[in-house]
């Protein structure tokens, strides 16, 4: 049994849904040492989130952005927390709907994802910032 | 400390929300060997999802289906990813709203769920398919 | 590697979103012994939920309540499961949208949360009850 915990700073992304599986894996050479285990990928923010979804067609990510903007609109008349801009309160709500972490099985040194699954960084703010992740790997090494 | 990771294929379900706790437990005799730990149940798809909810009244599952169909409608005018049918893009969005995994405490060889909690397979596509899960058990054996 | 699993009963809260990080940490003196690991915080109910979000301005929690009440309304004409009151079926749906657990990295005896992150108990029922959590800590001790 072996633990690895490290912080990864993702490059700044514009508002929207972004496939980041490769950006994460490239920063985790240690993953290859785990034969069986779990990877916990956690985002240390409340206005961006992580989810797993379709990894092939970029229009899926565009449709996510368009749907979430309708389901959680800006300038809803009932928002009180408005002083950080119209994108702020929707960003918090979207972040909780999607979640602050994904947990992925590790199998033979790789993320055990379905053929069509990838990790999305969901950037809900207008002004892009680098986003900090804490990745925790645990499992049996080869 | 002991790890078990296995794939489970759930039988095909029609579109909707289905209670699958027993179908999963029946395929996990190894669960009984864990005194304390965690079970990670992961679905390898992007158009079906897993969640925990009420395990008694089937009308709850029907209301889930009706509500999600309204909150994430088919044929929204802003969808671009439409070539796989009207149920496809809503299926992806519903899957991320509900999530691709549940993590359940293990206590004395059993899932430590509340009295009313059960695991739902949420099938968001019209055409039923078998769905693949990867279950990862970890913990101390008895 | 060391496991700790304990049940925590949170005090009754009124319907809404409540910051409970300190209430949980105060009940987990054992957390300080873990150098690196993960904390799984699980709620044993289907009409209340857990999420991570902004820990500073209480109006954020108010806006969450107002938004979820609009996105998942009471008395929707398509609800069949209505005999437990108008707040019951929305409570189940909200619980699955937000989720029944959060997993937080442990670092040097503390939850490794971002500056603005806190744990919310999301109470979706009108009649307050105490809510039971099962907390599972795992990791390497100092």
Q: Which segments of chain B does DSSP mark as H helices, in order?
A: 21-26, 58-71, 88-98
Average pLDDT of the residues in C112-139: 96
* CB-based contacts of C14, cutoff 8 Å, min separation 6: C123, C128
Instruction: Give the pLDDT of residue A128.
Output: 76
Chains contacting A (3+ CB pairs below 8 angstroms): B, C
Whether A3 sits inside 8 A of C139 (CB atoms) is: yes
Residue of C nearest to A48 (CA): C53
Instruction: Give the pLDDT of residue B38.
Output: 98
Q: How many other C-beta atoms lie within 10 A of the C-beta of residue B127?
A: 10
Pair A68, A53: CB distance under 8 Å:
no
User: C42 falls in which pLDDT band (50, 70, 90)?
Assistant: very high
pLDDT at residue B110 tops 80: yes
Q: Report the percentage of chain A scoring pLDDT > 70.
A: 100
pLDDT at residue A35 tops 90: yes
Chain C hits for A78, Cβ within 8 Å? 63, 66-67, 70
pLDDT at residue C120 tops 90: yes
Whether C113 sits inside 8 A of A72 (CB atoms) is: no
Average pLDDT of the residues in C49-76: 98
* CB-based contacts of B137, cutoff 8 Å, min separation 6: B3, B4, B5, B28, B30, B31, B34, B37, B38, B39, B40, B106
Average pLDDT of the residues in C15-28: 98
Instruction: Report the alpha-carbon distance of residue B122 to residue B127 in Å, rounded.
Output: 13
pLDDT at residue B128 tops 90: no
Tell me the shortest Cα–Cα distance from C102 to chain B, in angstroms: 9
Chains contacting C (3+ CB pairs below 8 angstroms): A, B
- Mean pLDDT over each residue of chain B, to the nearest integer: 97
SS (H, E, C) chain A: CEEEEEEEEECCCCCEEEECHHHHHHCCHHHHHEEEEEEEEEECCCCEEEEEEECCCHHHHHHHHHHHHHHCCCCCCCCCCCCCCCCHHHHHHHHHHHCCEEEEEEECCEECCCCCEEEEEEECCCCCCCEEEEEEEEEEEC
- Mean pLDDT over each residue of chain C, to the nearest integer: 97
Average pLDDT of the residues in A42-58: 98
Instruction: Give the pLDDT of residue C43.
Output: 98
Tell me the shortest Cα–Cα distance from C126 to chain A, in angstroms: 20
pLDDT digits (tens, 9 = 90+) for A73-95: 999 999 999 999 999 999 999 99
Closest CA to A36 of A119, A114, A112: A112
Pair B118, A96: CB distance under 8 Å:
no
User: A60 falls in which pLDDT band (50, 70, 90)?
Assistant: very high
CA atoms in the 13 A half-sphere facing the CB of B5: 15
User: A142 falls in which pLDDT band (50, 70, 90)?
Assistant: confident
pLDDT at residue A113 tops 80: yes
Instruction: Give the pLDDT of residue B106.
Output: 98
pLDDT digits (tens, 9 = 90+) for B17-74: 999 999 999 999 999 999 999 999 999 999 999 999 999 999 999 999 999 999 999 9
User: A22 falls in which pLDDT band (50, 70, 90)?
Assistant: very high
ipTM for this model: 0.97
Instruction: Give the pLDDT of residue C142.
Output: 76
């Amino acid at each position: 049994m072996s633990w690895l915990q490290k912080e990864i700073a993702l490059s700044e992304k514009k508002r929207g849904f972004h496939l980041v599986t490769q950006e994460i894996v490239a920063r985790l050479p240690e993953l290859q040492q785990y034969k069986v285990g779990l990877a916990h990928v956690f985002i240390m923010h409340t206005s961006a989130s992580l989810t797993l979804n379709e990894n092939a067609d970029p229009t899926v990510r565009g449709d996510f952005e368009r749907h979430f903007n309708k389901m959680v609109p800006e300038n809803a008349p009932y928002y009180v927390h408005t002083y950080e801009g119209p994108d702020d309160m929707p960003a918090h709500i979207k972040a909780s709907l999607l979640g602050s972490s994904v947990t992925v099985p590790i199998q033979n040194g790789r993320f055990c994802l379905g053929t069509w699954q990838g990790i999305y960084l969901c950037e809900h703010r207008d002004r892009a910032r680098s986003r900090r992740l804490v990745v925790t790997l645990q499992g049996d090494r080869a």
